[in-house]
Amino acid sequence: MKKFCIVLLALGLVAGFALSASAADVKFSGSYYLAGIYADNNSLTEESARATSSQALYYQRLRIQTEFKVAEGLALVTRFDALEKKWGEGTTATGWRASNAYDVTNRSSTGLAGKKVQENIEFERAYLDFTTKIGRFNIGYQNFVAWGTMFLDTHITRPGFKYFVPVGPFTLVAAIEKTVDQNTGAGVNSDADNNIYDLGAIYKFGKGEAGLLYQLGDTKINRPGVGGWRTQLHILDGYFKAKFGPVYFEAEGAYGTGDLMKFDVVPAGGTNVSAEAMALYLHAKADLGPAYVGGMFIYIRGDDWGTTDKVEGTMMTALLAGDAFNPCLMLWSGEYTTWVANMAGNAVGANPWTGGSNGITTYMDNTWFYQVYAGFKPVAKADLMASVTYAYADKKPTAYTSDVYGTEVDVTLKYKLFDNLEYMIGGAYLFAGDYFKGTNGNFKVKDNYLVMHKFTLNF
């Protein structure tokens, strides 16, 4: 009987430990989208090139975020994306035009042609989120390049630390982002890492908030060896959001300065290169019962390519700023450039200092941008909206014939099939400007248009 009681006690202890280990609350959230799109003339060229320029395709993405609440104030957060691809797109192993475009082979996930790139699961985030008496901490692979409004946001996953501490109506923010670490592998150089340091504050009041962030980007990956250099950029980013009766207003401004190339020893024929960046965003929206109207203004400074010792703008690609900001269905839409392509026409080439493309890419840059829009909600679940956008370059690249990007007209209709499931149909027409002639005044620019529909599920 004694042995039996000891066995029961042991089993009870095992069960108790098992129950404690599985006591974490698990919360799932995420999204799934599926879209079909036809883009008529992405090359912005004459009829002869349209056969290879037009695209018709379906694409999708499943995103799952899991939060394991281990104890009060302590959680482990993970996120992965799955089947983020075009329908019918082959894997690395099968190729684009293989008869079996779907991978049914159970193989290792490592090794060039043997790996399943985006075919199943890509884990992006895993970090600790815990709150102590001295503040809240996020530690691990998490979301960065996200501050204020959506204007300059990209939502990049990077390893790092974040610290938040409330002080009255303020929240103080500090962070360290690790972008490159060269302490392992061949060519080890512990003084050639890339880091970003953040220090900011958010002030909340009534129906609004404001924030200011200082950021130091310290890039030393190009430093080793003779002729190596260091990049140090200082950025101030402030924003404001508030609602005044039926009017919502938000604004964000950023200014950056520093050294793009600072040589340890200036090589013969070389020169140090300084940098400066400037951006301003204003957006207002008024709710008028079932209708609404709004307007948007954006200025992003362009670079004078004629100067060899200073970059005056066109820095957004280098800063990876603005991928999540989609003001139009085509112009500077990250979704369009990801699944269709960039639009360039004859505006080819890139800024030799910052890599910023002359065409229309994910990152809005070198731009004066004006948009007006209006919408109407005939029923609670439906939203019909139209917008008109006009944009031109702040600085024409050398020898370009025009600075006008063009005018885009967008129309979308969104309808909630369920509280969490939205269906959207939309169309856009771009009256392409002569900027896309590039340096060739005889180049024939043609307009582009798209039609699309999309299911979006959020849970």
CA angle at 398 for the pair 394 and 401, rounded to the nearest 5°: 75
What's residue 4's pLDDT? 39
What's residue 368's pLDDT? 98
Mean pLDDT for the chain? 87
Interatomic CA distance for residues 256 and 301, integer angstroms: 11
What's residue 220's pLDDT? 87
pLDDT above 90: residue 404: yes
What's residue 92's pLDDT? 55
What's residue 209's pLDDT? 98
Alpha-carbon torsion (239, 29, 117, 361), positive or negative: negative
What's residue 337's pLDDT? 94
pLDDT 10s digits, 342-376: 999 999 887 777 777 789 999 999 999 999 999 99
What's residue 184's pLDDT? 57
Q: How far is CA 171 from CA 27, 130, 235, in A?
A: 26, 16, 20
Top pLDDT among 9 and 245 is at 245
Q: Which of 107-121, 242-256, 304-318, 339-353 is modeled with the greatest confidence?
A: 242-256
Q: What is the secondary structure of 95-163 as a DSSP string?
A: -TT-S--S------S-SGGGS-TTTSEEEEEEEEEEEETTEEEEEEEEEES--SSSTT---EEEEEEEE
Interatomic CA distance for residues 276 and 219, integer angstroms: 16
What's residue 270's pLDDT? 82
What's residue 5's pLDDT? 43
Interatomic CA distance for residues 392 and 367, integer angstroms: 6
What's residue 49's pLDDT? 54
What's residue 304's pLDDT? 87
Q: What are the helix (H) ranges across 178-291?
A: none
Interatomic CA distance for residues 391 and 408, integer angstroms: 9
pLDDT above 50: residue 160: yes
pLDDT above 60: residue 17: no
Question: Residue 273: pLDDT band by 50, 70, 90 thresholds?
Answer: very high
pLDDT above 60: residue 115: no
Q: What is the secondary structure of 46-81 as a DSSP string?
A: -GGGHHHH-EEEEEEEEEEEEEEEEETTEEEEEEEE
Count of Cβ atoms closer than 10 Å to residue 379 Cβ: 9
Mean pLDDT of 274-278: 95
Coil, strand, or helix at residue 243?
strand
Nearest CA to 141 out of 154, 122, 156, 121 is that of 156
Nearest CA to 30 out of 81, 80, 78, 65 is that of 65
Mean pLDDT of 289-293: 96
Nearest CA to 238 out of 207, 190, 206, 282 is that of 282
Q: Residues of the chain with pLDDT > 90: what percent?
A: 71
pLDDT 10s digits, 175-232: 999 998 876 555 556 667 899 999 999 999 999 999 999 999 999 888 766 568 899 9
What's residue 119's pLDDT? 57
Question: Residue 18: pLDDT band by 50, 70, 90 thresholds?
Answer: very low
Map out the domains of the chain with their CATH numbers: 63-404 (2.40.160)
Interatomic CA distance for residues 282 and 293, integer angstroms: 14
What's residue 457's pLDDT? 98
Q: Which of 51-65, 96-110, 176-190, 403-417 is modeled with the greatest confidence?
A: 403-417
pLDDT above 80: residue 81: yes
State the number of CA atoms in the 13 A half-sphere of 206 facing the CB.
Answer: 7
**pTM, full prediction:** 0.89
Q: Give a three-class secondary structure readout of 195-217.
A: EEEEEEEEEEECCEEEEEEEEEE
- Our measurement of the distance from residue 339's CA atom to the centroid of its chain's CA atoms, rounded to an integer in Å, reads 14
Mean pLDDT of 393-406: 95
Q: Which of 3-17, 60-74, 78-92, 99-113 is modeled with the greatest confidence?
A: 60-74
